[in-house]
């Protein structure tokens, strides 16, 4: 069976994207996980999610931007998204990646870009979530987040339970009074910085979840893992945290049954809705999380 490590390696090999894109009929396959190519496709998908009682967060696909022009174009795109959310009345916020907004070019430039988005979100009473990327960016991401949060508040961060350092980071972010989205982590990380065994990652997730729930801040638990979700529900109940004092989050197209079930039970559920043309690394990370998805891709190609 093709392994997680190989798929994560391939997610950085852009020649494979060109090869896959050249296969007739391939282009519709990423649509299982991606709402479409443009902002209007994403708004359409979010309206449908809202109709089902689900909230959303926009992700304009893109990462590791190398030019200021590209980063500024992404800022404009997100400013437009915030405006459209406001005009259309959809229940959604936005998720951003700092390398998309110039983190690898110049931290100060990136900070200015994030600040513009958070200010715009503030004007509309909305919210910006900063995704967490691989561990080489953790420190800088937290620095930019901390600076913006101290000045503008309408912003939250993502922390990953596979990192050894996250216990400390969770405490620090809670001390600042900010909102966390807890996920397991999607990148290939060495053992010096990250737990390698699923059981350890899961145990850490549960430990951090408890600290977060006890903080009384409105946090988010991003996972499709029923063990994590059930433990969160049980612990929230135990400490008397109400069902609307936190939210679950899942990815577009994954465990739609579970998303609906949680809504029916009175939980708040937000779906991460990616759109755009830069789908390749995101798509490959979704395959890596569940290598059985490779069979989904292959069987779709064979069925044509
Ligand atoms: P796990 O991988 O253990 O999977 C549990 C079960 O969920 C599987 O058995 C399967 O049933 C289902 N499942 C999981 N992934 C699937 C897939 N791709 N296809 C089909 N079924 C699947 N990561 C990161 O590093 N930085 C970030 O900023 C974010 N942001 C983020 C936002 C949101 C809303 C979510 C849900 C996730 C992220 N992630 C992320 C990704 C996260 O770190 C992690 O890689 C995935 O959520 C998969 O881990 P699970 O917690 O679902 O558990």
Measured between alpha carbons, how far is 48 from 179 in angstroms, rounded to an integer?
Answer: 26
Of the residues 129, 137, 181, 268, which is catalytic? Answer: 181
Atom of ligand 1 nearest to the CA of 183: 43
CATH classification of the domain holding 190: 3.20.20.220
pTM score: 0.94
Measured between alpha carbons, how far is 143 from 295 in angstroms, rounded to an integer?
Answer: 40
pLDDT tens, residue by residue, 140-182: 999 999 999 999 989 999 999 999 999 999 999 999 999 999 9
Q: 281 is written with which tokens?
A: 């690394």
Measured between alpha carbons, how far is 80 from 120 in angstroms, rounded to an integer?
Answer: 10
Alpha-carbon distances, residue 286 vs 48, 143, 218, 292, 296 (angstroms): 22, 28, 27, 10, 12
Task: Choose the weakest-confidence range: 1-15, 135-149, 173-187, 192-206.
Answer: 1-15
Q: How far away, in angstroms, is 249 Cα from ligand 1 center? A: 10
Q: Assess if residue 158 is contained within a domain.
A: yes
Give the range of the structural domain holding residue 39, as residue numbers without chain letter.
Answer: 35-278
Q: 156 is written with which tokens?
A: 């939250």
Measured between alpha carbons, how far is 182 from 220 in angstroms, rounded to an integer?
Answer: 6
Q: How far away, in angstroms, is 289 Cα from ligand 1 center? A: 7
Question: What is the model's pLDDT at position 99?
Answer: 96
Measured between alpha carbons, how far is 179 from 184 in angstroms, rounded to an integer?
Answer: 17
Q: Assess if residue 161 is contained within a domain.
A: yes
Of the residues 59, 74, 104, 131, which is catalytic? Answer: 131
Which residues, at least 6 apart from 51, have a Cβ–Cβ distance to it below 8 Å? none
| H helices present in the chain, as ranges | 4-10, 14-21, 39-51, 68-88, 107-123, 138-152, 166-176, 198-215, 226-239, 256-264, 280-289, 293-303
Measured between alpha carbons, how far is 96 from 82 in angstroms, rounded to an integer?
Answer: 12
Q: Assess if residue 27 is contained within a domain.
A: no
pLDDT confidence bin for 278, thresholds 50/70/90: confident
Averaged pLDDT, 52-58: 98
Q: Assess if residue 29 is contained within a domain.
A: no
Please give the DSSP secondary-structure letter assigned to residue 89.
T
Which residues, at least 6 apart from 184, have a Cβ–Cβ distance to it below 8 Å? 160, 161, 162, 201, 202, 205, 223, 225
Q: How far away, in angstroms, is 212 Cα from ligand 1 center? A: 19
Q: How far away, in angstroms, is 33 Cα from ligand 1 center? A: 12
Q: Assess if residue 297 is contained within a domain.
A: no
Averaged pLDDT, 59-72: 91
| Protein residues with CB under 6 Å of any ligand 1 atom | 131-132, 158, 160, 183-187, 222-225, 249-251, 254-255, 272, 286, 289-290, 293
Residue nearest to atom 19 of ligand 1 (CA): 290
Task: Choose the weakest-confidence range: 48-52, 177-181, 292-296.
Answer: 292-296
pLDDT confidence bin for 300, thresholds 50/70/90: low
Which among 63, 100, 222 is the best mutation to test ligand 1's pocket, defined by most ligand atoms within 8 Å of the CB?
222
pLDDT confidence bin for 103, thresholds 50/70/90: very high
Question: What is the model's pLDDT at position 142?
Answer: 98
Measured between alpha carbons, how far is 222 from 55 in angstroms, rounded to an integer?
Answer: 13
Residue in 196, 222, 194 with CA at minimum distance from that of residue 59: 222
Measured between alpha carbons, how far is 285 from 205 in angstroms, rounded to an integer?
Answer: 20
Atom of ligand 1 nearest to the CA of 162: 43
Averaged pLDDT, 231-236: 98
Measured between alpha carbons, how far is 167 from 175 in angstroms, rounded to an integer?
Answer: 12
CB 63 within 8 A of CB 97: yes
Averaged pLDDT, 246-263: 96
Question: What is the model's pLDDT at position 301?
Answer: 66
Measured between alpha carbons, how far is 183 from 289 in angstroms, rounded to an integer?
Answer: 13
Atom of ligand 1 nearest to the CA of 198: 3
Question: What is the model's pLDDT at position 286?
Answer: 87
Which among 251, 258, 297 is the best mutation to test ligand 1's pocket, defined by most ligand atoms within 8 Å of the CB?
251
Measured between alpha carbons, how far is 77 from 170 in angstroms, rounded to an integer?
Answer: 30
pLDDT tens, residue by residue, 204-231: 999 999 999 999 999 999 999 999 999 9
Indicate the pairing of strand 246-251 with strand 155-160: unpaired
131 an active-site residue? yes
Question: What is the model's pLDDT at position 2?
Answer: 67
Residue nearest to atom 13 of ligand 1 (CA): 224
Bridge partners of 60, per DSSP, are 275
Question: What is the model's pLDDT at position 303?
Answer: 63
Averaged pLDDT, 32-44: 91
Question: For the chain, first and last CA: distance in Å?
Answer: 23
Q: How far away, in angstroms, is 285 Cα from ligand 1 center? A: 9
Q: Assess if residue 288 is contained within a domain.
A: no
- In total, how many domains does the chain have? 1
What mean pLDDT, rounded, does the chain reach?
93
169 an active-site residue? no
Share of the chain above pLDDT 70, in %: 98
pLDDT confidence bin for 65, thresholds 50/70/90: confident
Q: How far away, in angstroms, is 250 Cα from ligand 1 center? A: 7
């Amino acid at each position: 069976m093709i392994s997680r490590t190989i798929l994560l390696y391939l997610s950085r090999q852009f020649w494979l994207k060109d090869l896959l894109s050249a296969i007739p009929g391939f282009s519709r396959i990423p649509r299982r996980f991606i709402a479409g190519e443009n902002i209007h496709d994403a708004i359409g998908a979010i309206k449908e999610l809202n109709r089902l009682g689900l909230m959303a967060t926009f992700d304009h696909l893109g990462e590791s931007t190398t030019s200021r022009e590209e980063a500024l174009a992404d800022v404009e795109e997100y400013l437009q998204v915030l405006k459209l959310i406001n005009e259309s009345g959809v229940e959604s916020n936005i998720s951003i990646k700092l390398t998309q907004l110039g983190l690898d070019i110049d931290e100060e430039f990136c900070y200015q870009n994030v600040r513009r988005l958070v200010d715009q979100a503030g004007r509309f009473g909305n919210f910006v979530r900063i995704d967490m990327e691989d561990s080489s960016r953790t420190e800088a991401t937290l620095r930019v987040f901390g600076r913006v949060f101290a000045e503008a508040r309408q912003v939250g961060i993502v922390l990953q339970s596979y990192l050894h350092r996250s216990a400390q980071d969770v405490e620090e972010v809670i001390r600042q009074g900010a909102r966390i989205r807890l996920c397991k982590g999607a990148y290939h990380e060495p053992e010096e910085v990250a737990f390698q065994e699923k059981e350890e990652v899961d145990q850490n997730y549960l430990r951090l979840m408890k600290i977060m729930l006890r903080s009384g801040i409105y946090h988010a638990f991003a996972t499709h893992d029923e063990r994590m979700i059930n433990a969160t529900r049980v612990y929230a109940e135990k400490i008397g945290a109400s069902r609307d004092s936190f939210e679950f989050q899942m990815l577009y197209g994954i465990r739609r049954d579970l998303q609906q079930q949680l809504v029916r039970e009175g939980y708040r559920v937000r779906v991460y809705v990616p759109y755009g043309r830069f789908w390749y690394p995101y798509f490959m990370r979704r395959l890596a999380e569940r290598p059985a998805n490779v069979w989904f891709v292959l069987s779709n190609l064979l069925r044509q």
